[in-house]
Structure 1
């Protein structure tokens, strides 16, 4: 105990032994004044201490940084596309090619063929031969779409072709000595009506003899890499005119790339002056986008169909170009239906997969002071895929700024083949910061970290 404290204690003991003083006694009055001064001084000191504490505490809690809202954001569910179920057409062999969807590599198949079925060797092609005949004739006698070409005047030798092929049981169209028709007319009769007599007429006219025509055809086949095709006459009535399904698809592509052929094989019937129109032997023209090409039939080897189609697929910038062939079928009608089903199954392999809808709520972000907001997708996303092309998704989230309307919260990105889609995520309603009262009453939340 200090000396001052000891003196005070002694004074208190002495006073305790003294008789009570009169309150009006000058010493009593002086004592009361001393005590009042001490209380005032102590109060002032206390106020100064409290004020000093408040001046430090309030700025700390009112200006302290706060963490942004937190919460779980889920990835939206979507269904992965399934594999395409391609139809298998009837017949001994078939092949099909699809172009126009190269962004989906699976549509290219193997060696440019999406599907190959059955016998891979050479089979009789029947009247598909007339497509080759036309291509080789046009090499010697070019003709553009919509052009008539030179005039052919039929001779007695030409007229004999009618009897020749009629006796062979081939399809024929009438011929008369002195009859005149254009090159375009003759090609119509050969391709639309499948007239064998006009196939030999044109090929001989173009090259001067069948020998020179066949020599030119062999050279043409070799130049186009069609090494699995045998060609001995211009009509296809001889079963030695044979080819593989793969070669015939390649020949079909060359045909539709030739404007005058593409124009003629798409005709519902031939229109030749002086002759009664007859319908195209291809009875499925116009169905499932079919635009051609050529039917055929031999009793010993069955029906054949080389077909082309232009198919619109929602989501693709340009239509698909499809070329296919079916060999060794029961009849041209069953092959036609098989082609329609095949094309339809290819188109069905394209899926537009819905991924996320605008306004989808993917999570709730909240704060300790009970301000919250939903994370929402700002747009709708869907991707076109082919077959079971996988779709991958990546979600990124970013810290949300307090007080912002439509505050950025991240993105969702999708990839399917060469196609992508990205949708921003936002918190539409502002998540407000904490009020002053919450800050003052939650110092540990602000300063206790």
Structure 2
């Protein structure tokens, strides 16, 4: 009969625990998951533009703004641009450049473009032509008054009928002062009531630097800043009725005696929205222009007010267009190889998440993007070039672009030695993987 030996029992128990421990610890550390790499979001260096900046006059007031998204050149039959869900509100549009004074200056017939937008806001055209307007004795008298003052006017007669579209054509293309007043009276009851409505409309659109006191712009107290007037050019160019009138002037000329007074440097890709003069305002131009770059067309809108003479305006516009030809190019939004995250591991491996597929946009100067939205799946090891997530940024025009993120170097398994000597992180990763 054998006797109980405490020492032998302790030895067997210890050996069993060791064997079991090795049996569990070894597979757990050698075969278990590794702790995930720690991610830190980083901001890549800003793109430095060396392109030609917009050249604007030092005198008067002027500004240019980007007009919507660049389009394929084959689709750019005209510079009229349709507004879409990605077009930012006009008050959010930052000018590409501003020239001259920041003070509000008299704007001449640019005021008629505002009249068109305010009237269309109150009396929208939904069928292509709008309602029929019967002209009154006041409309006929307005024509006589402007004719006697040698101001731009088009003949009308009491009882004559015009559609809203025809009235707008006469005002915008022919710069008819009497048609501007007639539209204001028809839509709001009086020119004074129109001025009040226009004030509200300007405030609602964030155009605090512009003031109108009449429908024609003949009054020197109807004034606007270069920045506001460039934004108004963008609004006009994206309004379906106004842009259609500007793009198809021939439809307004037949039978109404309307001369198109908006045309300006059309052979150079410019579309005039308003081209006018008063003694107080000087020469004033509201326009859009386009520049072809590769397979895309870049479109911008602008205003130049307070020019002393036609030669100066022609020279200043030629300089602006030359700077556009030199400055518009394919610019990076998400540059190839740009790092948007860095990774560190418990065993000392490091890597970065870099843009795998570059994204560009035709633009003028460096494209400012919003904060990056980085999404990465948790990982511990990975090969160089392996896709591990995505980055998305908002562009200056309100749209978004994204690209896959790739590892710029391989993160390797640390090996058996590190696993066996660092049980804490390995066991922690195993527990986390099962929770």
**Which interval holds the TM-score relative to the shorter structure?**
0.5 to 0.7
Equivalent in the alignment of 1:182: 163
Q: Is the partner of 1:321 in helix, strand or coil? A: strand
Task: Give the conservation status (yes or no) of the 8 Å contact 1:283–1:336.
Answer: no
Larger radius of gyration: 1
For structure 1, the 5+ residue unaligned runs are 1-79, 103-109, 354-380, 391-409, 411-416, 421-449
Task: Give the conservation status (yes or no) of the 8 Å contact 2:131–2:164.
Answer: yes
Q: Distance in 2 between matches of 1:220 and 1:245?
A: 18
The CA deviation at 1:111 is 6.2
Task: Give the conservation status (yes or no) of the 8 Å contact 1:141–1:206.
Answer: yes
Equivalent in the alignment of 1:83: 51
Report the RMSD for the aligned CA atoms in angstroms. 4.1
Q: Distance in 2 between matches of 1:242 and 1:386?
A: 30
Question: Which of structures 1 and 2 has the larger relative contact order (alpha carbons within 8 angstroms, sep 6+)?
Answer: 2
Query: Aligned ranges for residues 297-308 of structure 1 at < 5 Å?
Result: 297-308=277-288
Show CA shifts across 1:7-58 (max 9, x none). Answer: xxxxxxxxxxxxxxxxxxxxxxxxxxxxxxxxxxxxxxxxxxxxxxxxxxxx
Q: 1:126 to 1:269 in 2, by over 3 A?
A: farther
Q: 1:419 to 1:286 in 2, by over 3 A?
A: farther
Residue 63 of structure 2 is aligned to residue 95 of structure 1: yes
Show CA shifts across 1:400-440 (max 9, x none). Answer: xxxxxxxxxx9xxxxxx9899xxxxxxxxxxxxxxxxxxxx
Q: 1:175 to 1:303 in 2, by over 3 A?
A: same
Q: Is the partner of 1:86 in helix, strand or coil? A: coil
Q: Distance in 2 between matches of 1:207 and 1:132?
A: 14
Q: Distance in 2 between matches of 1:254 and 1:263?
A: 13
Equivalent in the alignment of 1:161: 142
Task: Give the conservation status (yes or no) of the 8 Å contact 2:119–2:184.
Answer: yes
Show CA shifts across 1:311-358 (max 9, x none). Answer: 432154xx32311110100235643553354134223213469xxxxx
The CA deviation at 1:157 is 1.8
Equivalent in the alignment of 1:126: 108
Q: Distance in 2 between matches of 1:254 and 1:383?
A: 26
Residue 116 of structure 2 is aligned to residue 138 of structure 1: no
Task: Give the conservation status (yes or no) of the 8 Å contact 1:329–1:335.
Answer: yes
Task: Give the conservation status (yes or no) of the 8 Å contact 1:130–1:235.
Answer: yes
Count of aligned pairs between the two proteins: 294
Q: 1:218 to 1:279 in 2, by over 3 A?
A: closer
Q: 1:352 to 1:325 in 2, by over 3 A?
A: closer
Task: Give the conservation status (yes or no) of the 8 Å contact 2:107–2:222.
Answer: yes
Q: 1:91 to 1:81 in 2, by over 3 A?
A: closer
Equivalent in the alignment of 1:309: 289
Equivalent in the alignment of 1:330: 308
Q: 1:331 to 1:191 in 2, by over 3 A?
A: farther
Equivalent in the alignment of 1:291: 271
Q: Distance in 2 between matches of 1:384 and 1:254?
A: 22
Q: Is the partner of 1:271 in helix, strand or coil? A: helix
Point out the more displaced range, 239-248 or 271-280. 271-280
Q: Distance in 2 between matches of 1:388 and 1:210?
A: 42
Residue 239 of structure 2 is aligned to residue 239 of structure 1: no
